[in-house]
Amino acid sequence: MSASPVKPTAQADAPPTAKPHVTEREARQVAEAAREQGWRKPSFAKELFLGRFRLDLIHPHPLPPSEDARRGEEFLARLRDFCETKIDAARIEREARIPDEVINGLKELGALGMKIDTKYGGLGLTQVYYNKALALVGSANPALGALLSAHQSIGVPQPLKIFGTQEQKDEFLPRCARTDISAFLLTEPDVGSDPARLATSAVPDGDDYILDGVKLWTTNGVVADLLVVMARVPKSEGHKGGITAFVVETASEGVTVEHRNAFMGLRGLENGVTRLHQVRVPAANRIGPEGAGLKISLTTLNTGRLSLPAMCVGAGKWCLKIAREWSGVREQWGRPVALHEAVGSKISFIAATTFALEAVLDLSSQMADENRNDIRIEAALAKLYGSEMAWLMADELVQIRGGRGFETAESLAARGERAVPAEQMLRDLRINRIFEGSTEIMHLLIAREAVDAHLTVAGDLIDPDKSLSDKARAGANAGVFYARWLPKLVTGAGQLPNSYSEFKHEVDLSPHLRYVERSARKLARSTFYAMSRWQGRMETKQGFLGRIVDIGAELFAMSAACVRAELLRTQGSNGREAYQLADVFCRQARVRVEELFGRLWNNTDDVDRVVVKGVLTGTYTWLEEGVVDLSGEGPWIADATPGPTTQENVHRPIR
């Protein structure tokens, strides 16, 4: 692949658009415009945040068609054999690279096309079995799971499946199914979760676009054959402009992978920095219309986000296995450490949480397959909850293992003990709280969707740009909505002792579902009170919004755990044990929910803001004295000025 620039026509010779200066309000407007505005299908989580516990939307638990399950299980069996016989996880960790033969083996297995329709050469697996496959591969090596996920969940296949033309599908999907690895390029050195400031440009030039810019943290980018690139089209005559999605051949003139990044975990990850200089892309490679790039990205992530919690579920299962085996062998004070309460409580947390995470994942995935419900909130909650809880489980496993948890697998093996990579698991999982929307961004994204009904009827009341007549009209509409909605938050099925009795067996889960119903109404009342109190300032109360979302996540997980336990009971598959795990999880979750409710109004948010201002103005620099700063020289953010590359191209296509 050459990194030399093309010779564009005069129109494309114009300098690339400068990085836009965007105000906070403008940035919010860009993000708002990218949202799916309507709710054409029901949503369990949306209803939950509104105080309506719609158990009927998730119970009885949906199930995959038998033929889908058969094909999925057959592939999982082949994939398991490959993982057990062909993947050397220690070698990947040691060399910080996935061997080409492993990736080629996955290609031959069809793993690149798990989610691609069979008519394009893919396997056509359901979301449920795609996630099971990712959990399996991720347990063999998380970097491999990330490679397959980035390729299929956010890379070329998924955007084309939803938004691509038939010609694009015919051209690119067969390649993605068997041979070509893809990557998604949105982030830039100075642009992360605020895409309104995106600087990469796409200047129209006849039947082409000329792309210029620098993209950072391009997972798969070092080895990718195809790229989904988000770039800004300048508004001009005949061009709506805006952030737009393109399929770009990595072998195109002007595409250079300038650096392969290295991280604390996921050492085999092929993640890099990609420069695009005067890259000519046919208009036929544009995905959707101009200006639809962010909407395409967010819509793709509605199901794409489920891949990350899938690997978190796999991590939980492994943590549970190691905790069980180790704590039964290791003795302290004459007893296995598992029988000491301080350790036993950690094991119970890992077991119960793994059960709940799998319940959330399978329920959300099956709902995605059925396509009867809008799962944008459920998928986001699964990502948020899975990444946070998996990290906690891995941390608890390291604590259970003690000094051996801190020791590397290689060192353990060298001195004659089992090579348990507990510390690697902790390092590998840490990125999940940042990947595909950090925890903080997920809180804000979910909170926005959770209050959508309120903003729909009353948003104009707090919008400073709206006229008095608009505000009056919004006030009238809000009065009608709240007159109907608020009384329903006073009482509900959660106050009736016999509600949800179908969940009452040897272990009784019905009290937990009644708690979810009562808590959902309390959550909705708390949200309404906060909106009434803070109005337009509500969006700045990120601590409060985060707790609201965390409560909703716990309630969703409790609901999913109970529904899964009942499914397993009716199937005769470990039903009694599933009820026990669901009961323990719900008891643990209720403790967390009560703490979160208390912290809605009793917290340190106000004084924290005072301290932050002091830190930024240098009030506490005296506290930083007495240490050595090892971080070296250089700018905090690298220069990303468009232009020709000065670096060696480290792109490494795998054939």
| Cis-peptide into 60, omega within 30 deg | yes
Max Cα-Cα span within the chain: 82
Q: What stretch of H or E contains 202?
A: strand 201-205
The β-bridge partners of 416 are none
Q: CA 23, CA 503: separation in Å to the nearest integer?
A: 52
The residues that are catalytic are 436
Token look-up 């209720």 returns 590
Token look-up 């949105």 returns 186
State both tokens at 95.
């060399």
Amino acid at 496: L
Q: CA 20, CA 25: separation in Å to the nearest integer?
A: 14
- Report the Cα 20 to chain-centroid distance in Å: 27
478-to-417, 459, 466, 475, 613 alpha-carbon distances in Å:
66, 9, 15, 5, 37
Alpha helical stretches, state H, 500-627: 510-534, 542-571, 575-601, 605-616
Number of H helices, E strands in the chain: 23, 10
Distance separating the N- and C-terminal Cα atoms of the chain: 14
**Residue 594 · residue 551 · CB < 8 Å:** no
Closest CA to 639 of 262, 306, 115, 190: 190
191-to-188, 264, 640 alpha-carbon distances in Å:
5, 22, 11
DSSP symbol at 152: I
Closest CA to 474 of 545, 535, 541, 538: 535
Closest CA to 8 of 286, 290, 291, 252: 252
Please calculate the CA angle 162-166-172 and round it to the nearest 5 degrees: 80
State both tokens at 156.
């070329």
Amino acid at 201: S
DSSP symbol at 18: P
**Residue 644 · residue 277 · CB < 8 Å:** yes
**Residue 372 · residue 298 · CB < 8 Å:** no
Closest CA to 106 of 65, 152, 58: 152
**Residue 443 · residue 546 · CB < 8 Å:** yes
Contacts of 285 (CB under 8 A, 6+ apart): 168, 246, 247, 248
What is the per-residue DSSP string for 247-297?
EEETTSTTEEEEEE---SS-TT--EEEEEEEEEEEEGGGEESSTT-HHHHH
Q: CA 435, CA 192: separation in Å to the nearest integer?
A: 11
Q: CA 512, CA 521: separation in Å to the nearest integer?
A: 14
State both tokens at 582.
């669901």
